[in-house]
Amino acid sequence: MHRVIGALVVREMITRYGRSPGGYIWAILEPAGMVAMLAIVFSQFIHSPPLGKSFILFYATGYIPFHAYSDIAGVVSKSVSTNRSLMQFPMVTPLDAIIARFILSVLTIMVVSVLVFATLLVIVDDPVRLSLGPILVGLFSAMALGLGVGTINAFIFAFVPVWQQIWGILNRPMFIISAVFFTYESLPRQAQDLLIWNPVVHVVGKVRTGFYPIYEGNYVSLGFVLGLSAFLFLTGAWLMVNYRNEVIEVR
């Protein structure tokens, strides 16, 4: 099994990043560019960021965990449709394709996170005090959530193709309601009561506690995030295993 997954990881790497000279560079520039754009836009309207002194660092601490969730959920969701031809071989299963895509995305996101945060900490003047534990736990939780959402969606996409468009519409507001460019505590009570059910808000808050020692993030519940992630992944994996033939044969 590990050989199959390893081969799929290499294939995904070549397919996703190796076909153009800038493939790997774009994987870094895309989130870095989004962070820079947020900092430029919001700095024109707000005198100081909600936390710290640097706009770009504050938005990076929100966007990177959101990107970790969103990127993994997106690529894992398309695992079956992209690799269906390979699944005609008995040794390749839908779950192998999901795990391979997840591994490659995790490695990419970790490299991107290190490069973006290290660069910002060097160039910005912000008295942050890093605590790697909360940062890594927050990013891991974001990626686990992406795996859970992506796995269950991969199964649904196989049988209900229109769900891909519906999910895209439903998921579009996530960027706005995931505390990327604001803090959960700054919202009115009614908004807090709604957004507390958004698991991405919790992982963003956890990551920020690793950068800003004054930020407590008392609302963060990683038990909720990891429990939901495990439920979605195990449900999707069980469906993939028990309906493997149906998933592969669907067109």
**Does the pLDDT of residue 233 top 90, yes or no?**
yes
> What is the structure's pLDDT at 42?
65
- Res 55: pLDDT: 83
Q: What is the CA radius of gyration of the chain?
A: 19
* Span 236-251, average pLDDT: 81
Position 251 pLDDT exceeds 60: no
Q: Which residue has the tokens 């069980």?
A: 238
Task: Measure the CA–CA gap between 82 and 75, rounded to whole angstroms.
Answer: 10
20 — pLDDT class (breaks 50, 70, 90): low
pLDDT, tens digit, for every residue of 117-144? 888 888 887 777 788 999 999 999 999 9
How far apart, in whole angstroms, are the C-alpha atoms of residue 208 and residue 42?
Answer: 18
Judge contact between 248 and 88, C-beta under 8 A: yes
DSSP string of 184-248, one letter each residue:
GGGS-HHHHHHHTT-HHHHHHHHHHHTT-TT---TT--HHHHHHHHHHHHHHHHHHHHHTHHHHH
Whole-angstrom Cα distance, residue 114 to residue 109? 9
Q: Helices 199-209 & 55-77, crossing angle to 10 degrees?
A: 140
Mean pLDDT of 37-51: 72
* pLDDT tens digits for range 82-131: 877 777 777 888 888 899 999 999 998 998 899 888 888 888 877 777 88
**What per-residue string of b and e applies to 135-167 under the rule 16 or more CB within 10 Å gives b?**
bebbbbbbbbbbbbbbbbbbbbbbeeeeeeeeb
